[in-house]
């Protein structure tokens, strides 16, 4: 019998949600350990000494870090429906889009909401160009992978439960419904997907969290913008 699975995660972290979503879809029971990111625990720092970040998957005596690494681990180490496609080329395409999310879209998308003035405009332009590529990918499909939520969908989760929350907290809209109808429809589909219900964050909780930490997130955003 497989040793127990725990996730060191945090409310508010899209990366943490990715891991929970992967475990949910794979049908792997787990215990969630909520981390207070303002006061990082010994448990987190011991198991992720290099990056000191959530999420961390604990499986027996193994600690796996980095959300994309964890998702592939979950897919490979446990029985259950596959998260990534089976065909090598389709897998390469899926991994490409995951890389796109983290290395091309995430920064402008996030900073377009959390910064202001000319800086905000620059990030919004970049975000919208990148989002347009996703809009094309989604056209005619319910999810990026087809009829069911898969790897690419959970990788893009910051465009689902988080999107309307940060729009509300920051007062900024970048993903306009009229320009990105497929993306906004996908957002609704993701947020109401039955198999993800056990791990979807509560909207009110997320709003409260980001409202409480608004100044901190604005500060992080401005620092990130200068890099």
Partner 1 sequence: MAGEKNKGLQLLDFWVSPFAQRCRIALAEKGLPYEPLEQDLSNKGELLLRANPVHGKVPVLLHGGRPICESLVILHYLDEAFPEAAPALLPSDPRARAHARFWADIADRKVFECGTRLWKLKDGEARARARGEMVEALRALDAELGDKPYLAGEAFGFADLAVVPFAAWFPGYARLGEFSLEEVCPRLAAWAERCGERESVARNMHLPEKVCEFIAYLKDKYGDK
DSSP one-letter code for 175? S
Q: Residues 40, 95, 142, 203: which binds partner 1 (CB under 8 A)?
A: 95
Q: Residues 31, 96, 141, 185: which binds partner 1 (CB under 8 A)?
A: 96
DSSP one-letter code for 146? B
* Beta-bridge mates of residue 32: 7
Stretch that binds partner 1, among 66-74, 143-151, 171-179, 190-198 (CB under 8 A): 66-74
Residue 118 is a binding residue for partner 1 (CB under 8 A): no
The distance of closest approach from Cβ of residue 70 to partner 1 in the complex, given in angstroms and rounded to an integer, is 7
Angle at 38 between CA 36 and CA 39, to 5 degrees: 70
Q: Residues 39, 88, 178, 204: which binds partner 1 (CB under 8 A)?
A: 88
**Three-state secondary structure along 23-70?**
HHHHCCCCEEEECCCCCCCHHHHHHCCCCCCCCEEEECCEEEECHHHH
Residue 45 is a binding residue for partner 1 (CB under 8 A): no
Residue 226 is a binding residue for partner 1 (CB under 8 A): yes
The distance of closest approach from Cβ of residue 213 to partner 1 in the complex, given in angstroms and rounded to an integer, is 21
Q: Residues 19, 70, 174, 196: which binds partner 1 (CB under 8 A)?
A: 70
Class of residue 102 by CB neighbours under 10 A (exposed 0-12, middle 13-18, buried 19+): middle
Nearer to partner 1, 75 or 168 (CB): 75
Q: Residues 77, 119, 172, 208: which binds partner 1 (CB under 8 A)?
A: 77
Residue 195 is a binding residue for partner 1 (CB under 8 A): no
DSSP one-letter code for 49? T
The pair of structure tokens assigned to 39 is 């006061």
Residue 132 is a binding residue for partner 1 (CB under 8 A): no
The pair of structure tokens assigned to 173 is 């809209």
Nearer to partner 1, 7 or 166 (CB): 7
Question: Strand 31-34 to strand 62-65: parallel, antiparallel, or no bridges (unpaired)?
Answer: unpaired
Nearer to partner 1, 104 or 203 (CB): 104
Class of residue 188 by CB neighbours under 10 A (exposed 0-12, middle 13-18, buried 19+): exposed
Instruction: Using alpha carbons, list the distances in angstroms from residue 210 to 112, 198, 204.
Output: 16, 21, 10
Stretch that binds partner 1, among 59-67, 109-117, 155-163, 170-178 (CB under 8 A): 59-67
| Spatial contact of 151 and 94, defined as CB atoms under 8 Å apart | yes
Applying CB under 8 A, the residues found at the interface with partner 1 are 49-50, 62, 64-66, 68-70, 72-73, 76-77, 88-89, 91-92, 95-96, 99-100, 104, 133, 223, 226-227
């Amino acid at each position: 019998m497989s040793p127990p699975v725990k996730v060191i995660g945090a409310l508010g972290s899209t990366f943490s949600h990715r891991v929970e979503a992967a475990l949910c879809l794979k049908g792997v029971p787990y215990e969630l350990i909520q981390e207070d990111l303002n006061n990082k625990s010994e448990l987190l720092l011991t198991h992720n000494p290099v990056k000191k970040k959530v999420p961390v998957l604990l499986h027996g005596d193994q600690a796996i870090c980095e959300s994309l690494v964890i998702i592939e681990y979950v897919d490979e180490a446990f029985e259950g429906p596959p998260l990534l496609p089976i065909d090598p080329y389709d897998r390469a395409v899926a991994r490409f889009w995951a890389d796109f999310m983290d290395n091309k879209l995430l920064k402008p998308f996030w900073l377009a909401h959390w910064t202001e003035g000319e800086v905000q405009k620059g990030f919004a332009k970049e975000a919208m160009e990148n989002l347009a590529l996703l809009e094309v990918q989604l056209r005619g499909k319910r999810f990026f992978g087809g009829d069911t939520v898969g790897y690419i969908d959970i990788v893009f989760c910051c465009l689902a439960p988080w999107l309307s929350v940060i729009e509300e907290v920051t007062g900024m809209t970048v993903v306009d419904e009229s320009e990105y109808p497929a993306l906004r429809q996908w957002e609704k589909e993701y947020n109401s997907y039955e198999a993800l219900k056990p791990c979807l964050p509560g909207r009110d909780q997320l709003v409260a969290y980001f409202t409480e930490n608004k100044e901190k997130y604005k500060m992080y955003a401005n620092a990130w913008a200068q890099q």
